Structure 1
Amino acid sequence: MTAGRPRADARAETTTSPSARRPHVAIAVVNLPAERDRRVIRECLALESAGYRVTVICPRGRERLRQLPGSRDTTIRSFAQPFAGTGLLSFAAEFAWAFLCVAWHLAVLVTRHRVVAAQVCNPPDVFWPLALAMRATGRSWIFDHHDLSPELYACKTAAPRPTVSRLLIWFERLSMRFANEVVATNESYRQIALTRGGCKPERVTIVRNGPAAGEISAPAATEPGGDKQIVYIGVINEQDHVDRAVLAAERLVGLRGRDGWEMVIAGDGECLPALRGMVDERGLGDVVRFTGWLQAPEVDALLRGATLGIQPDIFSDMTNLSTMAKTVEYLARGLPVVAVDLLETRRTAGAAGRYVATGTGDEFGKALDELLDDETQLAQMRVIAQERFTSVLAWEHQAAAYLGVWRRLVPTSPDGSS
């Protein structure tokens, strides 16, 4: 008989089970399924290793996963997102639906699964009412600041509305003020938390994006005189300006012909169909190759065999103050990067980068062409890239700071209990 059998999740909650003895925490991320957000994956694995039990609330991916790949037992509670689209009304509907879904799942986790603290990753910055509710019940709340929502709106909108911009700044401030702690991805984001967010310095911790040293394999052996490879990895949306990489490839054809090199664009996003069309229209199909979205081992294999990485983001308040995850992925494999001269990009890559002024196809093409023919310079930049990663950027350094935030709010005992 099964009528009186307790449910599996109820059994997991008994005080005698190992999972029940570990403090249970939740992470909400709503702009990507958790299995496609490498920062969130690394955060979950770090929390597991430190004795926490983790549940992630996120949009439902194609595979409808219920456990985070590579994790010990991190659970995924997903929701459908029927309102994703473009335009102000679509975004408003998408964010409102995400808020309701996160609120529902979080309420279930608090009341039935003993969640003691939560972290929310922006965008959007709409979850501050949940921070108030959590803190009112004695539970902690962390705001993981992934993107600058006001600046992101400005760079994705041809004519930003001042009222919307002011509302986004207000929501951002409330998101920071009502959190116990704020996690910033770089120094510029920390300064925004201190100024625009009104946070005290001791409440803001920098945790950068980037892979762990353990995710990086040894560089692939390259044959002398073999084809050289320029790589872009990441999201392909309007604000990413990956079309600049295609224009750079077109300029390279004019500078060095079509033999001996290729450009690989690895990623997915709303602009991918248009980008494929652009390559076809310009007759670049023999020198530009698309791979689609790659998993972490595939990214590692691609970058280990590459010659250069390209970061085609052009200047905006958003890009100037943001650290691009792809840049750290490049540096982790000792891959020099060609990029527009942006504040946080230069802080990240230093002398492992070659910088152009505005990011036109002509500027990128010329810089790439020069470096492809300069093995001495490339070798020096590879050494600098690997040193930057090993000493500062590797996730091992970031995980220590990240876990320090959680331990201040939800200490764990040697047996894993709070």
Structure 2
Amino acid sequence: MANPRPHVVIVVVNLPVERDRRVIRECLALEAAGYRVTVICPRGPGRLTHLPGSASTAIRSFPQPLAGSGVLSFAAEFAWALIAVTTRLLGIMLRERVDAVQACNPPDVFWPVALLMRALGRPFVFDHHDLSPELYECKPGSPRPAVLRVLRLFEKLSWRCASAVVSTNESYRELAISRGGCDPERVVVVRNGPTVAEVGPAATDPATGAPDRHTIVYLGVINPQDHVDAAVLAAERLVGLRGTEDWRMVVAGDGDSLPELRQLVSQRGISDVVRFTGWLEADEVDALLRSASIAIQPDPPTRMAELSTMAKTVEYVARGLPVVAVDLLETRRTAEGAATYVPTGSPDELAKALDQLLGDDSARAAMSVVARRRFTEQLAWDHQAKAYIRLWDRLLRRNPASYNSVSPKIGTDAARQTGPQHGTKEAVP
């Protein structure tokens, strides 16, 4: 007998689904709401066929032999991804009914799939993770105008061909409407972030930090556009402002710039106060953030950073961590009063703000209260999942009262098993 549950296929090609916590949470939210889910994604080292921690989400993976490092190689990688995804989707559709498809960017190449689904009278959802044109402009070197035009065209086609668009913040929604010409009624904001159940209680009092030394933490991708060198140089300036006895900086994550940063720390002679952890699993991330006193977000004031919500910001706020950050639109919308903002993110600005916060126990305690309230009342995935499921219920004309409600603990077990994701601006290590 045919399975009565609506079947949604989710496409993600930026990384294997078992390392993409946003998509994991989406899958589990759909499961909890009575949907059946299949994910098409690149093949991970474990060659998984089902999502860990889920009841039934199937994985249909494909090999990814190409790794982009230039315009032509990226083009070949994305073309291969489109071919691999399309053949697997058609294979699934030949065996069973597919009621809808969701594609996550980058890349913005799945609008042909959107046209196919809509020709069949079935919904296609574009889950907009990153601004591909702005991300390309942030890369080292001068952007090629022709490449930028193609990226903007593909982005617009992805918006316009979709039945609905899921935006990760208000800025992305505004762009889908203004730059993409989307009807506001079909653009829904679903933010990133952990569930309440994923976040443990604070390991130390936020006013006192660790018993002997405060920990300043950076958590995230370490690529040139992430400006993590400014955080390292801020540590050097902080040594001059307050010595080395009562603090340390921990840089958690990896990326293209990590070897250069290790060399920079050695050259500047600050290895005693700056430590690199490399990649951390989910429980290690949670323990680090819960034991820290301050978080730092040095992303520079580029257009990409201005309009993007950094997943690390939500991870910081979820643990009640006061944040020192560059004054960016979406960072303010996320952290509000839980952060101290600096104009440009220069090492001197960051060091002075860190020094002031380290010396002000009451300010850190007040910011921690604001952070936890922001997370529990608005930012937690528990709230975001409701908007996500309402969208699917509307698209597939379902009566949500006839299915189980979304569990407040969705995403907890799977997210802890897989660890935080890697990727672009919406990802954390």
| TM-score, scaled relative to structure 1 | 0.91
* Residue identity in the other structure for 2:35: Y
Q: What is the one-letter code of the residue matched to 1:344?
A: E
- AA of the residue aligned to 1:372: L
What is the match of residue 250 of structure 1? 236
Separation of aligned partners in 2, 1:100 and 1:278: 42
Show CA shifts across 1:311-334 (max 9, x none): 111011110011111101111111
Task: State the match for 1:290 in structure 2.
Answer: 276
Q: How many residues align?
A: 399
1:335 aligns with 2:328: no
Tell me which of 244, 251, 270 is aligned to 2:256.
270
AA in 2 matched with 1:380: A
| 2:370 is the counterpart of 1:387 | no
Partner residue of 2:6? 23
- Asked whether 1:312 is paired with 2:298, we answer yes
After superposition, the CA RMSD in angstroms is 1.7
SS at match of 2:300: coil
User: CA contact under 8 A between 1:21 and 1:415: conserved in structure 2?
Assistant: no
CA distance in 2 between partners of 1:361 and 1:76 (Å): 44
Judged with a 3 Å threshold, the aligned counterparts in structure 2 of structure 1 residues 74 and 272 are, in CA distance, closer, same or farther, namely farther
Q: Distance in 1 between matches of 2:74 and 2:196?
A: 37
Equivalent residues in 2 for 1:298-377 (5 A)?
A: 298-377=284-363
The residue identity in structure 2 corresponding to 1:106 is L
Q: CA deviation at 1:225?
A: 4.4
1:168 aligns with 2:154: no
Question: 1 CA distance for matches of 2:153 and 2:239?
Answer: 48
Number of the residue aligned with 1:279: 265
Q: How does 1:9-158 map to 2 (within 5 A)?
A: 15=2, 20-158=3-141
Quick check: 2:33–2:403 contact (8 Å CA) kept in 1?
no
Q: CA deviation at 1:282?
A: 2.6
Deviation at residue 157 of structure 1 after TM alignment: 4.2
Distance 2:236 2:58 in 1: 45
Question: How far did residue 412 of structure 1 move?
Answer: 4.5
Structure 1 position 173, deviation (Å) = 0.8
Structure 2 stretches lacking a partner, 5+ long:
405-429
Quote the residue 1:3 is aligned against: none
Which residue of 180, 184, 195 corresponds with 1:212? 195
- The AA in structure 2 aligned to 1:173 is K
How far apart are the structure 1 equivalents of 2:304 and 2:67?
Answer: 22
Is the 2:140–2:224 contact (alpha carbons within 8 Å) kept by the matching residues of 1? no
Q: What's the counterpart of residue 200 of structure 1?
A: 183
Alpha-carbon offset, residue 415 of structure 1 = 6.4
- Tell me the CA shift for residue 67 of structure 1: 2.2
- Shift in CA distance, 274/79, structure 1 to aligned 2, threshold 3 Å: farther
The alpha-carbon distance between structure 1 residues 50 and 240, as it changes in their structure 2 partners (threshold 3 A), is: same
1:175-186 to 2 correspondences below 5 Å: 175-186=158-169
Unaligned 5+ segments in structure 1 are 1-13
* Preserved contact between residue 23 and residue 412 of structure 1 (Cα < 8 Å): no
- Assess if the C-alpha contact under 8 Å between 2:210 and 2:293 holds in 1: no
Amino acid at match of 1:193: A
- Distance in structure 1 (CA, Å) of the matches to 2:403 and 2:25: 23
Aligned twin of 1:8: none
- Whole-angstrom distance in 2 between the partners of 1:135 and 1:111: 17
Given residue 49 of structure 2, which amino acid in structure 1 is its aligned partner? R
Q: Which moved more, 1:82-91 or 1:39-48?
A: 82-91
Q: What is the rounded CA distance, in whole Å, between the counterparts of 1:131 and 1:320 in structure 2?
A: 29
- 1:19-71 Cα shifts (integer Å, max 9, x gaps): x3322211111112212211111111111111111111222223333222222
Q: Which amino acid aligns with 1:185?
A: T
Mapped partners of 1:224, 1:109: distance in 2 = 52
Could you tell me how far apart the structure 2 residues matched to 1:104 and 1:281 are? 51
Shift of 1:197: 0.7
The 3 A distance-change label for structure 1 pair 279 and 62 is farther
SS at match of 1:84: coil
Q: Report the Cα distance in structure 1 between the residues aligned to 2:179 and 2:276, rounded to whole angstroms.
A: 40
The CA distance in 2 between the partners of 1:359 and 1:259, in whole Å, is 25
Relative contact order, higher structure (CA 8 A, sep 6+): 2
Distance 1:262 1:405, change over 3 A: same
* Aligned 8 A contact 2:196 2:380 in 1: yes
Q: 1:75 to 1:291 in 2, by over 3 A?
A: farther
Change (3 A) 1:319 1:415: closer
Cα distance in 1 for partners of 2:322, 2:387 equals 27
